[in-house]
Structure 1
Amino acid sequence: MDPFKQMGDWKKNLDQFFGENFWSEFDDIIKPNIPQINMYQSDHEVMCIVNMPGLDDLYQIDIYVDHATLELKGTIDIHHSGGTAIKEEILQGVFEREISLPFPVRADKIKATYRNGLVYIQLHRLISETSRRNKVNVHLLKDE
Structure 2
Amino acid sequence: MNSTGKESRHVNIHIASPVEEVYSYASDPANLPEWALGLGGSIENVDGQWVAESSSMGRVVVTFSPENDLGVLDHDVTLPSGETVHNPVRVIADGAGSDVVFTLRRRPGMSDSDFRRDADMVAADLARLKALTEPGQGPR
TM-score past 0.5 threshold: no
TM-score of the superposition, structure 2-length normalised? 0.29
Radius of gyration: which is bigger? 1
- Higher RCO (Cα < 8 Å, 6 or more apart): 2
TM-score of the superposition, structure 1-length normalised? 0.28
The structure in which a higher percent of residues are helix is: 2
